[in-house]
Every structure is written in structure tokens, then in C-alpha cells.
Amino acid sequence: MYKTRPLSLLLLALLCQFTFGQIVNIPDANFKNALLNNFPEIDTNNDGEIQVSEAEATTIISAFSQGINSLVGIEAFVNLERLVCFNNPIASVDFSNNTQLQQISMSFTDLSEIDISNNLQLSFISLGYTSISDIDVVPHSNLEYLDIDGTNITSVDVTNNTGLKAISLIKLNGVTSIDLSNNLLLESIALRETGITSFDFSIFPSLKILDVGFTNFTDVDLSNNPQMCFLRVRDCSLLNTINIQNGNTQGLAPGSTCSVDFTIGGLTSQSGLNASPGCPNLDLICVDDIQFATDNFNQIPTQTQFVEDCSVLSVDSYSLQEAVLLNNPVTDNLTIESTQNIKTVSIFSITGKQILSEESDTNILDIDVSYLTSGLYFVVLETTEERVEVLKFLKK
């Protein structure tokens, strides 16, 4: 009995020495070099190798832009929580052992598929500009950030991710719709170069950051989003109106910090409004205070005007398509051509003040508007067929 105890202790000591002294096999020299130079330090004994014990003690790996081809060896990092490994030519990865992962940042890699079914602690997923065509985030109830920009993904189900705070959908022309009705905590949305043609932002009371571009949106309504502090709407050729009359237009004033915090990390940008270039038809932006908007928002098209009466945003400029303005914007004479004879023509300012009213009995009109001040105006036409057409024109 007393003779076996030293033997058992010896075996235990040998086992511990083997475990703590075992070296992790890391075939990719660039990956190994990144680990040896990682911060926080992984190679704590400075022997130029990564022991299993050192791997198990590691929670953060930061290895971006290191020319890494393979992450073989990552399986030994069983307590890894954060992996930042973007801009590396990595084609495949096995995260099945890394069950504690909370953050994966692997954008600009050569990944074509990824299995994260064992990584249920994930709250931050960034896989933009990879070749993946599918991702299943339904089991990830902790998800707060999702970036799938520039991938081959055509649909993604985030209905179960009720804690989602930020989503980025850029260069995803195959995505024609997305259901975000369960993601009411969203604070940041990026929708650029997708197949989505309209979107209801009113259901996101906490929305702070919105980036919309290269879309066929005709209007952007943020009247129910009082937390807005950053808005970029660029290269939207069909965009006609923006409504930021939400009781806090001042929140978009440039120069402040606009941020979204996650469990791990966050997003930060400078507050402001940018609606130029690429929005040639943006006529009206409805705000809380015209003077404030004029003083603070200068990154808008030259023809765009600020209004406080949002009802003018609902006017359809070409509802019947029976009349057209042949020279718009106009300097001196406004020419109107209609498929029907025009019975009356009226011109209104954007504030609703009637400036002109004339009777007619022709389908082509030339109206002198040289006396008008520069700005946006409405033309209301009544045809002999008792049809009414409302058009907008810009006076230079």
C-alpha cells in the first residue's frame, strides 16, 4: 500500500509534465509567428513554441494581415474568446473545439464555407468579402453584430437574434429582402448595393447609424428614429425625399461621437448627414428646424431644400405620367407638355403658398418663371379630362 503511493504520484507528475510541456503543432509558419508575437502574450515562457498549457490559457488572438494560409493548431485554444484574423488567405478553418468563441473577425479571407454550429457563445461575426454562400446564425441567441458584406449569401435568417445591434449588408445584390422585424434593438444598419428597393426603418427606435447607398429607394423616412446621429445616403439615383423630422434633428449635427457598444468592442463614427454625391433627384429633406439644418448640413445636392412641413414629401411628382416638364431645372421659361389639353395651371411654393394660377386650352404651355427666387416649386395641372397632375420643378 505504501509502496504504490510514490508510484502513483510519479505517474501523476509525469502526466502533468507531459500535458504542460506538450507543444501545439502549428504547420503554418506565419500563423506560428503571429502567435509568438501576439498581444496579450501567449508564449509566456519565451521558448519560441506554444505549449498546450499556453494555448489553453489564451483568450485573445490578433493575427490580421499576416499572410496566414492555415489555422491548423487553433483547436488547442479551447478557451479562445476573440479571434481577429482578417485579411489573410485562409481557405478553411475548424472551430469545433473553440466552444468559448465570442468574436470571429475573418473578413477579406479566402473562406468559402464556415461551420459555427459549435460556437454558440458568438456575439460578434465579421465575415465580409469572403466567398461564403451560406451562414446559419439561428442558434446564436447572443449575436449582436453581423457583417456579411461582399459574400455570395443571398438570404440570412436573423429572426432568432433578438439582441442584434448592428448588421452590415453591402455588395449583396442577391439579397432582395430581409426580415428584421424581430431585431428591434438595432442601432446600426448598412444597406448598400443590395436588391432591396424599400425598407421600413420606423420599427427601430434605437437606430443611430444608417448607411444607404446604390439602392432604388425613392424615400428614406426616419421620423420615428430620434436617436439618429449618423446618416449617409449616397448614390441613390431615384431618391426623392428624406424625412429626419424626429424631434432630434440636432443629433445629426457634425462633430460629435456616434457610437454603438457591444459586449465585445463597438462601432464609432463622427455624427453628421451626408447625402451627396449621387442623389440628383433628392428634392426635399424634412427637418425640425430649417435654420439649424441650413447651418449644419452642407453635404447635400445643390437642388435639395429643407422643409418643416413633411406633408409635401408625400406628393407624387409623376403620378399619372400624362404631363412632363421639358426644361427642369429651369432658369426663365418653364415648358409643360401634356397628352391632354390643360384647363388650369397653378404654381405653389414648398410652403403651400399659391404664386400663379392661369386658365388654358392647350397641351403645351410656356410659363415665365424668371421672377421666382431659386428653389423648389410645385405645378398643379388640371386637364380637360378632369385629371389632376402634380409636378415638381427647380428654379435656378
Residue 267: left if φ>0, alpha if ψ -120 to 50, beta else—which one?
A: beta
75 and 154 share one domain: yes
Q: In whole angstroms, give the CA distance from residue 313 to residue 173.
A: 28
How many CB atoms lie under 10 A from the CB of residue 303?
A: 19
Residue corresponding to grid cell 436617436: 227
Tell me the pLDDT band of 6, cut-offs 50, 70 and 90: low
33 and 170 share one domain: yes
pLDDT at 17: 45
241 and 362 share one domain: no
Query: Which cell numbers hold the place of 9?
Result: 504520484
Give per-residue pLDDT as tens, 302-332: 889 898 888 778 765 444 457 788 888 888 9
pLDDT at 3 over 80: no
- Whether the bond into 205 is cis, omega within 30 of 0: no
Whether 358 is covered by a domain: the verdict is: yes
372 and 344 share one domain: yes
Give per-residue pLDDT as tens, 31-72: 999 999 999 999 999 999 999 999 999 999 999 999 999 999
pLDDT at 287: 96
Whether 9 is covered by a domain: the verdict is: no
Number of domains in the chain: 2
DSSP three-state, residue 350: coil
- Containing structural domain, residue 78: 20-314
Burial class of residue 24 in the structure, from the number of CB atoms within 10 Å of its CB (0-12 exposed, 13-18 middle, 19+ buried): buried
The length of the chain is 396
Whether 165 is covered by a domain: the verdict is: yes
Domain of 388: which CATH number?
A: 2.60.40.1930
Mean pLDDT, rounded, for 208-223: 96
> Alpha helices of the chain — where are they, by DSSP H?
4-21, 29-36, 52-56, 290-296
